[in-house]
Structure 1
Amino acid sequence: MDARAIIAALRRGEGIEPEALTWFAHGLADHGVSDAQAGAFAMAVCLRGLDREGRAQLTIAMRDSGKTLRWDLDGPVLDKHSTGGVGDCVSLILAPALAACGAFVPMISGRGLGHTGGTLDKMESISGLSTKVDEARFHQIVETAGCAIVSASADIAPADKRLYAIRDVTATVESLDLITASILSKKLAAGLDGLVLDVKVGSGAFMKEIDAARALASALVETANLAGCPTSALITDMNAPLAPALGNALEVAEVMKVLRGAARGPLYELTLALGTQLLFSAGQAASKDGAREALSNAIASGAAAERFGKMIAAMGGPLGFVENPERYLPEAPVIREVTAQSDGFVSAINGEVLGLAVVDLGGGRQVESDLVNPAVGLSEVVTLGTRVSRGQAIARVHSARESQADRAAQAVRDAIVISPTAPSKRVLEREVIG
């Protein structure tokens, strides 16, 4: 086959045979396709688009460009993916809760980039824990703990790794077809029986408008189902942080409050909503009410926390983490209270500004090679709609240096809008796609 012919056909808007896309994906993986050809391919897809079958064929081809995992377990193999938000640490609660309900969760996750946090960075804020495990160890952890949250090995969807880097420098990141294939090729390589997607929209999400979020959710669900993985999506609100903390260790502390039954709120509710959809669609519950009850009981009984503790220990973390998480999470040397400048109601929160403030503190990355300080971030962030008085705390900054704390405090004041009247009810309600 010829890369030039494939690119020319795409440029003309013609359909591409599955064999041609498979050949091209393998060429991306083994560098049989040049950078120039990869860039031209990405631009052709970006400008002309693919039909639903072509998008699914590209996803499958990229999935099969490397190793795909196989499981022989006595329960369904399930997973969840989020398009990214601020204060979003659902994965750390949902994975062990699903495991406590009889599912197995081999969660291959990513690191933070831009204003959103990364699940792997949160996990690695726990003393001694490493998310890099070989395939044999990955299987062992999933079988014994019921869940494992790990980084992708080099042989998982290598075509995506190559094409992702090319897209970044050729202004083709925004292509719906390429976004869909990128997300799903990695997830489907894990050998899943079911997947739920959390497509976020709002000030703290990459998708700011509901129509764009619906388009992405529909493309992801349709493509995953065509590829043979039963999948549904929830469109969820990200106009305010999901947890009252932003930053790796601080978010893990919030996770432990939920797992130990000391906190509820949006983080808990979204965990149950995603898990309910996943367990019900996988046939693990006769009804959605039954699925929600099973998940709620798994958390309330401590079974989910027990699974989490097993996973942490198996990945090199401390044996006693669940009993005493504060002992094994780093603390920042500078902690500063940020107070309201006027009386009123919290009428808006710009999640992206808060996320970038955490990045500036050292808690995230501008580029992939940046080092992350797991201790820094924001905690006790006030919730949308809260009535506050002048001088009342609206957040706490955790910083390595005083100068960074000054900038973060100002960012918090800029991001949290206080108005004389209470905000109207949020327009966005959760939508289920698929």
Structure 2
Amino acid sequence: MPIDPIVIIGAGPSGLLLARYLELHRIPVVIYERDSSPTHRPQGGSLDLHDETGLKALKETGLLDEAKSYMRAEGEAMKIVDKGGKIWYDENDKVVKAHTGFHEGGPVTGRPEIDRTDLRNILIKSLGSDTIQWGHTVSSCSKISSSHYQINFVSQPYITTPFLIGADGAFSRVRPLIHSTLPSYSGVSMYELTIPPKNMTPELKTYVGQGCLLALDEGMTVLPQMNSEGLCKVYVGLRCPENWTDENPLPDKKKREWLANLFQGWHDQVRDVIMASEEDKLVTRRIWQFDPDLKWDTDLTGVTVMGDAAHVMSPFAGEGVNQALADALELGKTLVSLFIVPTPRASSPPFPLSLLPISQPRSKPLLSSPPAADLHHALRRFERKMMRRARKEMIGSKENMDMFFGENAARNLTHWMSTFMIRFVWQTVTEWPVDFVNAIWD
């Protein structure tokens, strides 16, 4: 008897990678995504992939080799300046020399950058043609029973499912089924700008460098970040009340001038970066975050959340997508272990046929819906492990944000960078016993 497909809400990195993992194991899956197509809206700038999370997830889903062709080692380079233009830290030459060769088949080292759009396209192309149902905006999700759910769409008929995964972002429509906590405003709002390659003058290229520039001071930031093909994303950040951007809206015209005037008294290149951007592509965002100690429990079976829907954090640790990909890989392994029925190992053919180089054809796995108690226990265990792993990064992202927007930000961040290895070793030594005990407890 065929099983119901696993329903994923949201075609972001975690939803797509989970679907990829399930399809590799021939488990039926469908994604419902509100965007009308893969090109419906921009996917933001680039992100760095981390060894034990993002890179591991791509490797275990067979996508790492393809992703290598889009990775940029030079994107790791960081440069830190203050309001007056003083360069506190610059690793442009050091990073490029340290991490080269993976485009020629060598191993991936460091934390290479990849554009979010490229990553998403790789994941989309890896799926079946009918896996993603585009243009499906979820209005609400409701419980039919403790193990069956109804998903209501804005413009399409509702569907029901016993297997529901929320990968639908910070304000998830799935999450209210399992808990009612909402993310809180972090105290920071940002403006996202885009500088086209034609506007990146030699002076701007030298100023930004090959990766990311961080101009930090007085509770404000300007963060230009190079993307592929010469495009540059710029993130202007302000520490301000939640309603500040509503009370101080961008004007209909001369948006760039309005934004640049917030940085009067800063070195000239800050204004140059803002004025080089395209005015019609300016986006305002509030930054949301969950409490790192968030926990929940539920009696419902067959429903869970991951990625930003579970643990949205500020972007100042570069961990959001990496943690989301790790969630998807972990959840994929959990579901595969539940849905695939173990088959007895085939016996070897009799002698002398056993000496011949004949391999048995790979059989299609037997699938079965797991018992409700087993599914409930496995998903709650997944959630505990996910939140324990993400908690460290949620704390780190908040601490980094406070440093970026605090006093003497450029100096303090430079000191933080210079002592990174000492802190990493100390953290490893002090945390591994706790992680070991937790692994046994799980």
Structure with greater proportional helix content: 1
Same fold (TM over 0.5): no
Please report the TM-score for the alignment, with normalisation by the length of structure 2. Answer: 0.23
Query: Based on CA coordinates, which of the two structures has the bigger radius of gyration?
Result: 2
Q: Which has the higher strand share?
A: 2
